[in-house]
Amino acid sequence: MNILIDLGHPAHVHLYKNFYFEAKERGHNIFVTVKEIPSAIRLLDAYGIKYIVIGKKGKTKIGKFIKQIWFDLRTIWIVIRYRIDIGLGSSITTTHVSLVTAMKSIIFDDDDDDVQPLFVKFAHPFATELLSPDALRGNRGRVDTIFYPAYHEIAYLHPSRFNPDPGILDRAGIKKGDPYFILRFNQFLAHHDYNVDGLTLQQKEKLINVLLPHGRVFVTTESESDHVFDKYRIKIDSTEIHSFIYYAKLFLGDSQTMSSEASVLGTPSIRCNSLVGRISSLNEQEKKYGLCFGFKPEDLENMLSKIIELLANQNLREEWEVKRDNMLKDKFDLSGFMLWFVENYPASKEYRNDRTIFKQKEITE
Domains 2-158+332-364 and 167-329 share a fold: yes
pLDDT at 361: 55
**pLDDT tens, residue by residue, 75-130:** 999 999 999 999 999 999 999 999 999 999 999 999 999 999 999 999 999 999 99
**pLDDT tens, residue by residue, 212-230:** 999 999 999 876 667 788 8
* Domain positions in the chain: 2-158+332-364, 167-329
**Residue 52, by phi and psi: left (phi above 0), alpha (psi -120 to 50) or beta?**
beta
> What is the Cα–Cα distance from 347 to 344, expressed in whole angstroms?
6
In this model, does residue 365 exceed pLDDT 60?
A: no
Average pLDDT of the residues in 4-21? 96
Reading across the β-sheet that carries 52-53, which strands appear in turn?
A: 52-53, 29-34, 2-7, 86-89, 104-108, 129-133, 146-148
Cα atoms found within 13 Å of the Cα of residue 192, Cβ hemisphere only: 21
Query: Are 74 and 54 contacting, i.e. CB atoms less than 8 angstroms apart?
Result: yes
> What is the Cα–Cα distance from 47 to 61, expressed in whole angstroms?
32
In this model, does residue 190 exceed pLDDT 80?
A: no
Query: Are 15 and 90 contacting, i.e. CB atoms less than 8 angstroms apart?
Result: yes
**pLDDT tens, residue by residue, 271-301:** 999 999 999 999 999 999 999 999 999 999 9
CATH T-level assignment (fold) for domain 167-329: Rossmann fold (3.40.50)
176 class by beta-carbon count within 10 Å (0-12 exposed, 13-18 middle, 19+ buried) = exposed
Q: What is the DSSP string of 81-150?
A: HHT-SEEEESSHHHHHHHHHSS-EEEEE--S-GGG-HHHHHHTGGG-SEEEEEGGGTTS---TTPEEES-
Confidence of residue 155 (pLDDT cuts 50, 70, 90): very high
In this model, does residue 191 exceed pLDDT 50?
A: no
Average pLDDT of the residues in 232-252? 95
Listed residue (5, 15, 8) closest to 257, CA to CA: 15
pLDDT at 299: 96
SS3 content of the chain, % helix, strand, coil (to 5): 50, 15, 35
196's enclosing H/E stretch is: none
> What is the Cα–Cα distance from 215 to 218, expressed in whole angstroms?
10
In the DSSP assignment, the letter for residue 233 is B
pLDDT at 57: 87
Amino acid (1-letter code) at residue 339:
L
Task: Please give the CATH number for the structural domain made up of 2-158+332-364.
Answer: 3.40.50.2000
pLDDT at 224: 62
Residue 201 phi/psi, 5° resolution? Answer: -60, -40
> What is the Cα–Cα distance from 245 to 254, expressed in whole angstroms?
15
Whole-model pTM above 0.75? yes
CB atoms within 10 A of CB 329: 7
Confidence of residue 197 (pLDDT cuts 50, 70, 90): confident
Query: Are 94 and 69 contacting, i.e. CB atoms less than 8 angstroms apart?
Result: no
Range from 37-51, 170-184, 187-201, 253-267 carrying the lowest mean pLDDT: 187-201
Query: Are 346 and 315 contacting, i.e. CB atoms less than 8 angstroms apart?
Result: no
